[in-house]
């Protein structure tokens, strides 16, 4: 069954959501994309959870997907965090919610969940910290040469911050999956890796400290693709070790950065089901 499209007004945005509702499900899952995708691009994977006792939502963050923004040039990474916090609150119906963050959506969801205080657990396919030197060198097309430009990020303000940049010019989408065709497809997708974003958004992301993520006391589960040629697993595991709450780490067997291949895809689904079940049983077993 195809997802239902819904629209949620937030600040100066008309936020697009994909939903697979299940009022009887004990747990809700919110799916959050990264820099090269959007809700519809992740739905073929996320939809495999439909019918597995979860209520499922995927969001198009501003600048991506079908979300409508009246002032694209002023969108920052902090807006993404604020939106997720407000969406979690707006959707709160008493059931536990698990966040699934893909790519840079991983640490984003930990940051938003820590600020929200309404999240039972986070599952992340990546926990790349943009302030780490090696992370900065692997995430862009420039490699280690990108480090020379990082001090200039503090100068990105005013009219310069509004200058549009295509995501595929910066992000190394060639490493999106094991099949190079996937990266080319993402780069051509005007709602995903082919989107135009303001330079100020990129600067705000690269400089964000994710300090609130380091206060996260809820479980964070890293489910990292085994054959990820874009973001090495050791970088994500390094970030995972800085989180104070309970954490787990597992490899999605045979998967590239975008986890589409089996058996890793089934590893992800099985892992998500377990996290959702644990979240549901934890709430059910808590005292009134």
pLDDT for 27 equals 97
What's the pLDDT band for 241 if we cut at 50, 70, 90? very high
Looking at residue 171, what DSSP letter applies? B
Residues in a beta bridge with 28: 55, 97
The answer to whether 130 and 80 have CB atoms below 8 angstroms apart is: no
pLDDT at 96 over 70: yes
Contacts (Cβ under 8 Å, ≥6 apart) of 148: none
Q: Check whether 285 has a pLDDT greater than 50.
A: no
pLDDT at 216: 94
Spatial neighbors of 266 by CB under 8 A, at least 6 apart, are none
Average pLDDT, stretch 52-68? 97
List pLDDT tens digits, range 252-265.
Answer: 999 999 999 999 99
pLDDT tens digits, residue range 146-192?
655 666 677 688 888 999 999 998 888 989 999 989 999 999 999 99
Closest CA to 43 of 83, 2, 14, 15: 2
Work out whether strand 247-252 and strand 220-225 pair parallel, antiparallel, or are unpaired: parallel
The per-residue pLDDT for 133 is 87
For residues 1-7, average pLDDT: 92
pLDDT at 155: 66
Give the pLDDT confidence score for residue 91 in this predicted structure. Answer: 97
End-to-end CA distance of the chain: 37
pLDDT of residue 264: 97
Q: How confident is the model at residue 85 (pLDDT cuts 50, 70, 90)?
A: very high
| pLDDT (tens digit per residue) in 101-149 | 999 999 999 999 999 999 999 999 999 999 998 888 888 766 554 655 6
Q: What is the pLDDT of residues 7-40, one digit of tens each?
A: 999 999 999 999 999 999 999 999 999 999 999 9
The confidence score (pLDDT) of residue 40 equals 97
CA distance 135 to 155: 21
Given a cut of 70, is residue 235 above it in pLDDT?
yes
What pLDDT is recorded for position 136?
A: 85
Average pLDDT score, the chain: 92
The pLDDT of residue 146: 60
Q: Quick one: pLDDT at residue 288? A: 38
């Amino acid at each position: 069954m195809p997802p239902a499209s819904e629209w949620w007004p937030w600040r100066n945005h008309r936020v697009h959501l994909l939903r697979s509702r299940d009022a009887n499900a004990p747990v809700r899952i919110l799916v959050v994309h990264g820099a090269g995708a959007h809700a519809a691009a992740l739905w073929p994977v996320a939809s495999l959870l439909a019918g597995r006792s979860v209520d499922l939502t995927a969001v198009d963050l501003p600048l991506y997907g079908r979300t409508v923004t009246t002032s694209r040039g002023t969108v920052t990474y902090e807006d993404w965090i604020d939106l997720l916090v407000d969406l979690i609150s707006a959707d709160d119906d008493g059931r536990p919610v698990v966040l699934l963050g893909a790519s840079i959506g991983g640490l984003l969801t930990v940051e938003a969940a820590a600020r929200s205080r309404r999240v039972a657990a986070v599952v992340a396919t990546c926990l790349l910290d943009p302030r780490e030197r090696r992370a900065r060198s692997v995430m862009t097309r420039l490699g280690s040469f990108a480090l020379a430009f990082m001090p200039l990020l503090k100068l990105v303000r005013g009219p310069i911050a509004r200058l549009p940049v295509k995501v595929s010019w910066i992000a190394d989408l060639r490493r999106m999956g094991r099949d190079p065709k996937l990266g080319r497809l993402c780069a051509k997708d005007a709602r995903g890796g082919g989107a135009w974003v303001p330079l100020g958004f990129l600067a705000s992301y690269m400089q964000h400290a994710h300090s609130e993520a380091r206060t996260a006391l809820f479980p964070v589960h890293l489910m990292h693709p085994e054959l990820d040629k874009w973001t090495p697993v050791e970088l994500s595991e390094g970030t995972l070790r800085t989180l104070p709450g309970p954490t787990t780490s597992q490899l999605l067997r045979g998967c590239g950065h975008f986890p589409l291949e089996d058996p890793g895809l089934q590893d992800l689904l099985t892992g998500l089901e377990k996290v959702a079940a644990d979240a549901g049983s934890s709430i059910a077993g808590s005292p009134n």
